[in-house]
Structure 1
Amino acid sequence: MREALAIITSAGVEKLSLREVARRLGVSHQSPYRHFESRDHVLAEIVRRAFVDFAAALRGAPITDNPGADALQMGFTYVRFALTQPLQYRLMFGGSLPDPMVHSEMMRGARDAFNVLRDALRRVAAARGRMADPKVLDQEALFAWSSLHGAVSLLASDAMGTLDLDPGEQDAFIGHALKRIGTALGITPPHTHESS
Protein backbone atom coordinates (compact mmCIF):
# COMPACT_ATOMS: atom_id res chain seq x y z
CA MET A 1 0.00 0.00 0.00
CA ARG A 2 2.81 2.42 0.86
CA GLU A 3 4.54 1.74 -2.44
CA ALA A 4 1.29 2.18 -4.36
CA LEU A 5 0.78 5.55 -2.66
CA ALA A 6 4.37 6.52 -3.49
CA ILE A 7 3.71 5.76 -7.17
CA ILE A 8 0.52 7.81 -7.15
CA THR A 9 2.28 10.68 -5.39
CA SER A 10 5.24 10.79 -7.75
CA ALA A 11 3.74 9.73 -11.09
CA GLY A 12 -0.04 10.02 -10.77
CA VAL A 13 -2.83 7.49 -10.34
CA GLU A 14 -2.72 6.52 -14.03
CA LYS A 15 0.80 5.10 -13.52
CA LEU A 16 -0.27 2.78 -10.72
CA SER A 17 0.09 -0.90 -11.65
CA LEU A 18 0.76 -4.03 -9.64
CA ARG A 19 3.74 -4.74 -11.90
CA GLU A 20 5.27 -1.36 -10.99
CA VAL A 21 4.60 -1.95 -7.27
CA ALA A 22 6.36 -5.31 -7.55
CA ARG A 23 9.30 -3.81 -9.47
CA ARG A 24 9.82 -1.11 -6.85
CA LEU A 25 9.61 -3.64 -4.03
CA GLY A 26 12.05 -5.99 -5.77
CA VAL A 27 9.65 -8.94 -5.82
CA SER A 28 8.22 -11.02 -8.63
CA HIS A 29 5.51 -9.35 -10.67
CA GLN A 30 3.03 -11.97 -9.43
CA SER A 31 3.66 -11.34 -5.71
CA PRO A 32 1.18 -8.45 -5.29
CA TYR A 33 -1.58 -10.64 -6.73
CA ARG A 34 -1.43 -12.74 -3.56
CA HIS A 35 -2.83 -9.71 -1.73
CA PHE A 36 -4.84 -7.84 -4.35
CA GLU A 37 -6.79 -9.15 -7.30
CA SER A 38 -6.03 -6.15 -9.50
CA ARG A 39 -4.74 -2.58 -9.66
CA ASP A 40 -8.29 -1.35 -9.06
CA HIS A 41 -8.46 -3.38 -5.85
CA VAL A 42 -5.31 -1.61 -4.59
CA LEU A 43 -6.69 1.79 -5.57
CA ALA A 44 -10.07 0.99 -4.00
CA GLU A 45 -8.34 0.13 -0.71
CA ILE A 46 -6.34 3.38 -0.80
CA VAL A 47 -9.51 5.38 -1.43
CA ARG A 48 -11.39 3.44 1.26
CA ARG A 49 -8.72 4.36 3.78
CA ALA A 50 -8.79 8.01 2.67
CA PHE A 51 -12.55 8.16 3.22
CA VAL A 52 -12.15 6.54 6.65
CA ASP A 53 -9.59 9.21 7.59
CA PHE A 54 -11.85 11.95 6.22
CA ALA A 55 -14.88 10.73 8.19
CA ALA A 56 -12.74 10.41 11.33
CA ALA A 57 -11.51 13.99 10.90
CA LEU A 58 -15.07 15.28 10.56
CA ARG A 59 -16.18 13.21 13.52
CA GLY A 60 -13.25 14.59 15.53
CA ALA A 61 -14.59 18.16 15.39
CA PRO A 62 -15.68 19.23 18.89
CA ILE A 63 -19.26 18.77 19.99
CA THR A 64 -20.55 21.46 22.33
CA ASP A 65 -23.94 22.73 23.38
CA ASN A 66 -23.98 25.04 20.32
CA PRO A 67 -24.86 22.94 17.24
CA GLY A 68 -24.43 25.93 14.92
CA ALA A 69 -20.89 26.58 16.13
CA ASP A 70 -20.16 22.87 15.89
CA ALA A 71 -21.36 22.78 12.27
CA LEU A 72 -19.15 25.76 11.44
CA GLN A 73 -16.19 24.07 13.13
CA MET A 74 -16.87 20.94 11.08
CA GLY A 75 -16.65 23.10 7.97
CA PHE A 76 -13.21 24.33 9.04
CA THR A 77 -12.24 20.70 9.70
CA TYR A 78 -13.36 19.74 6.18
CA VAL A 79 -11.25 22.50 4.65
CA ARG A 80 -8.24 21.70 6.85
CA PHE A 81 -8.37 18.04 5.82
CA ALA A 82 -8.60 18.96 2.14
CA LEU A 83 -5.66 21.36 2.33
CA THR A 84 -3.39 19.25 4.55
CA GLN A 85 -4.20 15.90 2.87
CA PRO A 86 -4.42 16.97 -0.78
CA LEU A 87 -3.58 13.54 -2.23
CA GLN A 88 -6.23 11.77 -0.18
CA TYR A 89 -8.75 14.48 -0.99
CA ARG A 90 -7.96 14.33 -4.69
CA LEU A 91 -8.25 10.52 -4.72
CA MET A 92 -11.65 10.65 -3.00
CA PHE A 93 -13.13 13.38 -5.17
CA GLY A 94 -10.98 13.41 -8.30
CA GLY A 95 -13.33 11.33 -10.40
CA SER A 96 -11.04 8.40 -11.22
CA LEU A 97 -12.42 5.94 -8.69
CA PRO A 98 -12.70 2.24 -9.35
CA ASP A 99 -16.27 1.10 -9.98
CA PRO A 100 -18.16 1.55 -6.67
CA MET A 101 -20.50 -1.30 -7.61
CA VAL A 102 -17.53 -3.69 -7.73
CA HIS A 103 -15.73 -2.13 -4.75
CA SER A 104 -18.62 -1.38 -2.40
CA GLU A 105 -16.40 -1.15 0.71
CA MET A 106 -14.56 1.77 -0.85
CA MET A 107 -17.56 4.06 -0.51
CA ARG A 108 -18.50 3.15 3.07
CA GLY A 109 -16.34 6.00 4.39
CA ALA A 110 -18.00 8.44 1.99
CA ARG A 111 -21.39 7.46 3.37
CA ASP A 112 -20.00 7.72 6.89
CA ALA A 113 -18.68 11.26 6.23
CA PHE A 114 -22.02 12.27 4.75
CA ASN A 115 -23.79 10.88 7.81
CA VAL A 116 -21.57 13.00 10.08
CA LEU A 117 -22.79 16.05 8.17
CA ARG A 118 -26.40 14.86 8.35
CA ASP A 119 -26.09 14.40 12.11
CA ALA A 120 -24.70 17.93 12.51
CA LEU A 121 -27.62 19.38 10.56
CA ARG A 122 -30.09 17.26 12.56
CA ARG A 123 -28.65 18.74 15.75
CA VAL A 124 -29.09 22.26 14.34
CA ALA A 125 -32.74 21.53 13.50
CA ALA A 126 -33.36 19.97 16.92
CA ALA A 127 -31.85 23.03 18.64
CA ARG A 128 -34.45 25.11 16.82
CA GLY A 129 -37.16 22.74 18.07
CA ARG A 130 -37.81 21.19 14.66
CA MET A 131 -37.66 17.67 13.37
CA ALA A 132 -35.56 17.61 10.19
CA ASP A 133 -37.34 16.30 7.10
CA PRO A 134 -34.97 13.59 5.73
CA LYS A 135 -35.26 14.77 2.12
CA VAL A 136 -34.66 18.41 3.02
CA LEU A 137 -31.82 17.37 5.32
CA ASP A 138 -30.13 15.48 2.47
CA GLN A 139 -30.52 18.47 0.14
CA GLU A 140 -29.01 20.79 2.74
CA ALA A 141 -26.15 18.36 3.40
CA LEU A 142 -25.43 18.09 -0.33
CA PHE A 143 -25.55 21.88 -0.64
CA ALA A 144 -23.05 22.31 2.23
CA TRP A 145 -20.74 19.58 0.93
CA SER A 146 -20.75 20.83 -2.66
CA SER A 147 -20.21 24.43 -1.53
CA LEU A 148 -17.22 23.46 0.58
CA HIS A 149 -15.87 21.30 -2.23
CA GLY A 150 -16.10 24.25 -4.59
CA ALA A 151 -14.32 26.54 -2.12
CA VAL A 152 -11.54 24.00 -1.57
CA SER A 153 -11.18 23.43 -5.33
CA LEU A 154 -10.80 27.17 -5.84
CA LEU A 155 -8.19 27.46 -3.09
CA ALA A 156 -6.22 24.55 -4.56
CA SER A 157 -6.30 25.95 -8.09
CA ASP A 158 -3.63 28.10 -9.68
CA ALA A 159 -6.34 30.61 -10.55
CA MET A 160 -6.66 31.81 -6.94
CA GLY A 161 -3.02 32.97 -6.94
CA THR A 162 -3.54 35.04 -10.08
CA LEU A 163 -6.35 37.15 -8.65
CA ASP A 164 -5.60 40.65 -7.47
CA LEU A 165 -6.52 40.07 -3.81
CA ASP A 166 -5.39 41.92 -0.73
CA PRO A 167 -3.03 39.98 1.58
CA GLY A 168 -5.04 37.74 3.90
CA GLU A 169 -8.06 37.76 1.60
CA GLN A 170 -7.60 34.10 0.71
CA ASP A 171 -7.58 33.05 4.38
CA ALA A 172 -10.61 35.23 5.13
CA PHE A 173 -12.44 33.67 2.18
CA ILE A 174 -12.98 30.32 3.94
CA GLY A 175 -14.46 31.94 7.04
CA HIS A 176 -16.70 34.09 4.86
CA ALA A 177 -17.77 31.13 2.71
CA LEU A 178 -18.61 29.05 5.79
CA LYS A 179 -20.66 31.88 7.28
CA ARG A 180 -22.58 32.27 4.01
CA ILE A 181 -23.23 28.52 3.86
CA GLY A 182 -24.38 28.68 7.49
CA THR A 183 -26.67 31.61 6.72
CA ALA A 184 -28.17 29.71 3.78
CA LEU A 185 -28.82 26.76 6.08
CA GLY A 186 -30.24 28.93 8.86
CA ILE A 187 -27.26 28.34 11.13
CA THR A 188 -26.27 31.33 13.24
CA PRO A 189 -22.49 31.49 13.29
CA PRO A 190 -20.67 32.25 16.56
CA HIS A 191 -19.13 35.69 17.06
CA THR A 192 -15.59 34.37 16.74
CA HIS A 193 -14.21 31.79 14.35
CA GLU A 194 -11.03 29.88 13.77
CA SER A 195 -9.09 30.50 10.60
CA SER A 196 -8.23 27.59 8.33
Structure 2
Amino acid sequence: MSKTSSPTTSLREACVLAAREVIAESGVEGLSMRDVARTLGISHQAPYRHFESRDHLLAEVMRRCFADFAAYLGVQTSGQEGDAKLEAMGHAYLDYAQHKPLEYRLMFGTPWPEPAQHPELVEHAVRAFNLLRDTLRALPGAQHQPSGHADHQAMFIWSALHGMASISQAHVMQHLQLAPGVEVGLRADLMARMALGLGYNSRSTGE
Protein backbone atom coordinates (compact mmCIF):
# COMPACT_ATOMS: atom_id res chain seq x y z
CA MET A 1 0.00 0.00 0.00
CA SER A 2 1.38 3.41 -0.96
CA LYS A 3 1.72 6.17 1.61
CA THR A 4 -0.93 8.21 -0.17
CA SER A 5 -3.50 5.41 -0.30
CA SER A 6 -6.04 4.92 2.43
CA PRO A 7 -7.25 1.45 3.47
CA THR A 8 -10.71 2.37 2.14
CA THR A 9 -9.38 3.36 -1.28
CA SER A 10 -7.18 0.29 -1.47
CA LEU A 11 -10.00 -2.11 -0.63
CA ARG A 12 -12.30 -0.53 -3.20
CA GLU A 13 -9.62 -0.87 -5.85
CA ALA A 14 -8.90 -4.43 -4.77
CA CYS A 15 -12.58 -5.32 -5.18
CA VAL A 16 -12.58 -4.02 -8.76
CA LEU A 17 -9.43 -5.96 -9.63
CA ALA A 18 -10.77 -9.10 -7.99
CA ALA A 19 -14.02 -8.76 -9.92
CA ARG A 20 -12.06 -8.67 -13.18
CA GLU A 21 -10.19 -11.79 -12.08
CA VAL A 22 -13.42 -13.63 -11.31
CA ILE A 23 -14.92 -12.59 -14.65
CA ALA A 24 -11.81 -13.72 -16.52
CA GLU A 25 -12.01 -17.15 -14.88
CA SER A 26 -15.78 -17.73 -14.64
CA GLY A 27 -17.41 -15.19 -16.96
CA VAL A 28 -19.77 -12.40 -15.98
CA GLU A 29 -22.34 -14.98 -14.92
CA GLY A 30 -19.92 -16.23 -12.28
CA LEU A 31 -19.38 -12.83 -10.69
CA SER A 32 -20.72 -12.48 -7.16
CA MET A 33 -19.80 -10.37 -4.16
CA ARG A 34 -19.08 -13.57 -2.26
CA ASP A 35 -16.55 -14.73 -4.86
CA VAL A 36 -14.87 -11.33 -4.84
CA ALA A 37 -14.55 -11.53 -1.06
CA ARG A 38 -13.24 -15.09 -1.28
CA THR A 39 -10.66 -14.06 -3.87
CA LEU A 40 -9.42 -11.29 -1.58
CA GLY A 41 -9.57 -13.40 1.56
CA ILE A 42 -11.87 -10.93 3.34
CA SER A 43 -15.27 -11.21 4.99
CA HIS A 44 -18.27 -11.67 2.75
CA GLN A 45 -19.67 -8.32 3.84
CA ALA A 46 -16.52 -6.26 3.25
CA PRO A 47 -17.14 -5.48 -0.47
CA TYR A 48 -20.52 -3.99 0.44
CA ARG A 49 -18.73 -1.13 2.17
CA HIS A 50 -17.85 0.21 -1.27
CA PHE A 51 -20.44 -1.28 -3.64
CA GLU A 52 -24.14 -1.58 -2.93
CA SER A 53 -24.52 -4.72 -5.00
CA ARG A 54 -22.92 -7.00 -7.51
CA ASP A 55 -24.37 -4.82 -10.30
CA HIS A 56 -22.74 -1.71 -8.86
CA LEU A 57 -19.39 -3.48 -8.86
CA LEU A 58 -19.92 -4.75 -12.41
CA ALA A 59 -20.88 -1.24 -13.56
CA GLU A 60 -17.60 0.12 -12.22
CA VAL A 61 -15.61 -2.60 -14.00
CA MET A 62 -17.42 -1.83 -17.25
CA ARG A 63 -17.03 1.93 -16.80
CA ARG A 64 -13.28 1.50 -16.59
CA CYS A 65 -13.28 -0.57 -19.76
CA PHE A 66 -15.06 2.17 -21.68
CA ALA A 67 -12.73 4.81 -20.23
CA ASP A 68 -9.69 2.75 -21.26
CA PHE A 69 -11.17 2.14 -24.71
CA ALA A 70 -11.87 5.84 -25.32
CA ALA A 71 -8.41 6.80 -24.11
CA TYR A 72 -6.84 4.25 -26.46
CA LEU A 73 -8.81 5.54 -29.45
CA GLY A 74 -7.83 9.08 -28.56
CA VAL A 75 -4.14 8.29 -28.36
CA GLN A 76 -4.09 6.26 -31.57
CA THR A 77 -5.80 9.02 -33.57
CA SER A 78 -4.05 12.00 -31.95
CA GLY A 79 -2.80 14.56 -34.44
CA GLN A 80 -4.79 13.14 -37.34
CA GLU A 81 -7.73 14.68 -39.12
CA GLY A 82 -10.41 13.85 -41.64
CA ASP A 83 -10.30 10.57 -43.51
CA ALA A 84 -6.94 9.60 -42.02
CA LYS A 85 -8.33 9.95 -38.50
CA LEU A 86 -11.39 7.90 -39.39
CA GLU A 87 -9.27 5.09 -40.81
CA ALA A 88 -6.88 5.19 -37.85
CA MET A 89 -9.85 4.92 -35.51
CA GLY A 90 -11.03 1.83 -37.36
CA HIS A 91 -7.65 0.16 -36.99
CA ALA A 92 -7.47 1.20 -33.33
CA TYR A 93 -10.90 -0.33 -32.69
CA LEU A 94 -9.88 -3.67 -34.15
CA ASP A 95 -6.51 -3.62 -32.40
CA TYR A 96 -8.18 -3.01 -29.04
CA ALA A 97 -10.64 -5.86 -29.58
CA GLN A 98 -7.79 -8.19 -30.52
CA HIS A 99 -5.43 -7.31 -27.69
CA LYS A 100 -7.99 -6.79 -24.92
CA PRO A 101 -10.72 -9.39 -25.59
CA LEU A 102 -11.96 -9.41 -21.98
CA GLU A 103 -12.51 -5.66 -21.94
CA TYR A 104 -14.12 -5.81 -25.36
CA ARG A 105 -16.58 -8.50 -24.32
CA LEU A 106 -17.45 -6.60 -21.17
CA MET A 107 -18.27 -3.48 -23.16
CA PHE A 108 -20.18 -5.00 -26.05
CA GLY A 109 -21.13 -8.53 -25.06
CA THR A 110 -22.38 -8.11 -21.50
CA PRO A 111 -25.91 -7.18 -20.38
CA TRP A 112 -25.78 -3.82 -18.65
CA PRO A 113 -26.81 -3.19 -15.08
CA GLU A 114 -29.79 -0.80 -14.84
CA PRO A 115 -28.44 2.32 -16.67
CA ALA A 116 -30.47 4.78 -14.59
CA GLN A 117 -28.54 3.66 -11.50
CA HIS A 118 -25.13 3.96 -13.16
CA PRO A 119 -24.92 7.30 -15.01
CA GLU A 120 -21.10 7.27 -15.06
CA LEU A 121 -21.13 4.02 -17.03
CA VAL A 122 -23.48 5.57 -19.58
CA GLU A 123 -21.37 8.73 -19.73
CA HIS A 124 -18.16 6.87 -20.55
CA ALA A 125 -19.84 4.62 -23.10
CA VAL A 126 -21.33 7.61 -24.91
CA ARG A 127 -17.97 9.40 -24.78
CA ALA A 128 -16.36 6.53 -26.67
CA PHE A 129 -19.09 6.62 -29.33
CA ASN A 130 -18.83 10.39 -29.63
CA LEU A 131 -15.19 10.09 -30.66
CA LEU A 132 -16.42 8.42 -33.84
CA ARG A 133 -19.46 10.64 -34.33
CA ASP A 134 -17.50 13.86 -33.80
CA THR A 135 -14.88 12.73 -36.30
CA LEU A 136 -17.61 12.19 -38.89
CA ARG A 137 -19.17 15.56 -38.14
CA ALA A 138 -15.80 17.22 -38.73
CA LEU A 139 -15.34 15.79 -42.24
CA PRO A 140 -15.51 18.27 -45.12
CA GLY A 141 -19.09 18.88 -46.17
CA ALA A 142 -20.57 17.16 -43.12
CA GLN A 143 -22.23 20.38 -41.97
CA HIS A 144 -24.35 20.37 -45.12
CA GLN A 145 -25.70 16.86 -44.54
CA PRO A 146 -29.21 16.20 -43.19
CA SER A 147 -29.75 15.85 -39.46
CA GLY A 148 -28.82 12.38 -38.28
CA HIS A 149 -26.46 11.71 -41.20
CA ALA A 150 -23.43 11.34 -38.94
CA ASP A 151 -25.41 9.03 -36.67
CA HIS A 152 -26.23 6.73 -39.57
CA GLN A 153 -22.61 6.72 -40.70
CA ALA A 154 -21.37 6.04 -37.16
CA MET A 155 -23.73 3.11 -36.75
CA PHE A 156 -22.65 1.69 -40.11
CA ILE A 157 -18.97 1.91 -39.15
CA TRP A 158 -19.55 0.52 -35.67
CA SER A 159 -21.60 -2.39 -37.02
CA ALA A 160 -18.91 -3.26 -39.56
CA LEU A 161 -16.05 -3.04 -37.07
CA HIS A 162 -17.93 -4.92 -34.37
CA GLY A 163 -18.80 -7.65 -36.83
CA MET A 164 -15.18 -8.01 -37.89
CA ALA A 165 -13.92 -7.98 -34.30
CA SER A 166 -16.45 -10.59 -33.20
CA ILE A 167 -16.03 -12.90 -36.19
CA SER A 168 -12.25 -12.78 -35.94
CA GLN A 169 -12.48 -14.16 -32.40
CA ALA A 170 -15.07 -16.82 -33.26
CA HIS A 171 -13.91 -20.44 -33.22
CA VAL A 172 -15.70 -21.12 -36.50
CA MET A 173 -13.08 -19.03 -38.30
CA GLN A 174 -10.73 -21.99 -37.97
CA HIS A 175 -13.04 -24.18 -40.06
CA LEU A 176 -14.24 -21.95 -42.92
CA GLN A 177 -11.57 -23.11 -45.39
CA LEU A 178 -11.10 -19.61 -46.80
CA ALA A 179 -9.01 -19.18 -49.93
CA PRO A 180 -5.30 -18.50 -49.34
CA GLY A 181 -4.66 -14.89 -48.38
CA VAL A 182 -8.27 -14.00 -47.63
CA GLU A 183 -8.02 -14.04 -43.85
CA VAL A 184 -4.79 -12.00 -43.88
CA GLY A 185 -6.42 -9.31 -46.01
CA LEU A 186 -9.76 -9.13 -44.21
CA ARG A 187 -9.02 -5.95 -42.29
CA ALA A 188 -7.71 -4.03 -45.29
CA ASP A 189 -10.65 -5.21 -47.36
CA LEU A 190 -13.10 -4.06 -44.69
CA MET A 191 -11.48 -0.63 -44.50
CA ALA A 192 -11.61 -0.24 -48.28
CA ARG A 193 -15.27 -1.29 -48.44
CA MET A 194 -16.23 1.07 -45.60
CA ALA A 195 -14.44 3.90 -47.41
CA LEU A 196 -16.37 3.09 -50.57
CA GLY A 197 -19.66 2.95 -48.71
CA LEU A 198 -19.03 6.25 -46.93
CA GLY A 199 -17.56 7.98 -49.96
CA TYR A 200 -14.11 8.84 -48.63
CA ASN A 201 -10.64 7.83 -49.76
CA SER A 202 -8.96 5.02 -47.88
CA ARG A 203 -5.26 4.23 -48.04
CA SER A 204 -6.07 0.57 -47.30
CA THR A 205 -6.55 -1.94 -50.04
CA GLY A 206 -8.03 -5.38 -50.12
CA GLU A 207 -5.56 -6.56 -52.70
TM-score, with length taken from structure 2: 0.85
Deviation by residue 1:95-128 (Cα, 9 ceiling, x = unmatched): 422121221211212111111101211222xx34
Shift of 1:73: 1.1
The worse-fitting range, judged by mean Cα deviation, of 98-107 and 59-68 is: 59-68
The worse-fitting range, judged by mean Cα deviation, of 160-169 and 176-185 is: 160-169
Provide the rounded CA distance (Å) in 2 between the counterparts of 1:118 and 1:8: 31
Residue number in structure 1 paired with 2:149: 136
- Tell me if the contact between 2:191 and 2:205 (Cα under 8 Å) persists in the aligned partners: no
Q: 1:54 aligns with which of 69, 93, 116?
A: 69
Q: Which runs of 4+ in 1 moved over 4 A?
A: 63-66
- Tell me if the contact between 2:192 and 2:205 (Cα under 8 Å) persists in the aligned partners: no
How many residues of Structure 1 are paired with residues of Structure 2 in the alignment? 191
Residue number in structure 1 paired with 2:60: 45
Shift of 1:174: 1.1
SS of 2:159's equivalent in the other structure is: helix
Shift of 1:129: 7.3
Residue number in structure 1 paired with 2:195: 182
Shift of 1:194: 9.8
Residue number in structure 1 paired with 2:135: 120
Provide the rounded CA distance (Å) in 1 between the counterparts of 2:174 and 2:147: 39
- CA change 1:194–1:79 in 2 (3 A) is farther
Q: 1:30 aligns with which of 45, 52, 58?
A: 45
Higher relative CO (Cα under 8 Å, sequence separation at least 6) belongs to 1
Provide the rounded CA distance (Å) in 2 between the counterparts of 1:113 and 1:129: 20
- Tell me if the contact between 1:82 and 1:152 (Cα under 8 Å) persists in the aligned partners: yes
Q: Does 1:8 align with 2:23?
A: yes
The worse-fitting range, judged by mean Cα deviation, of 37-46 and 88-97 is: 88-97
For 1:106, the aligned partner's letter is: L
Deviation by residue 1:141-176 (Cα, 9 ceiling, x = unmatched): 111111111111111111111111244422310111
Provide the rounded CA distance (Å) in 2 between the counterparts of 1:147 and 1:35: 38
- Tell me if the contact between 1:122 and 1:132 (Cα under 8 Å) persists in the aligned partners: no
- CA change 1:128–1:46 in 2 (3 A) is same
Q: 1:75 aligns with which of 76, 90, 97?
A: 90
Structure 1 gap ranges (5+): none
Residue number in structure 2 paired with 1:145: 158
For 2:192, the aligned partner's letter is: K
TM-score, with length taken from structure 1: 0.90
- Tell me if the contact between 1:17 and 1:39 (Cα under 8 Å) persists in the aligned partners: yes
- Tell me if the contact between 1:91 and 1:97 (Cα under 8 Å) persists in the aligned partners: no
Provide the rounded CA distance (Å) in 1 between the counterparts of 2:80 and 2:90: 17
Q: 1:18 aligns with which of 33, 56, 62?
A: 33
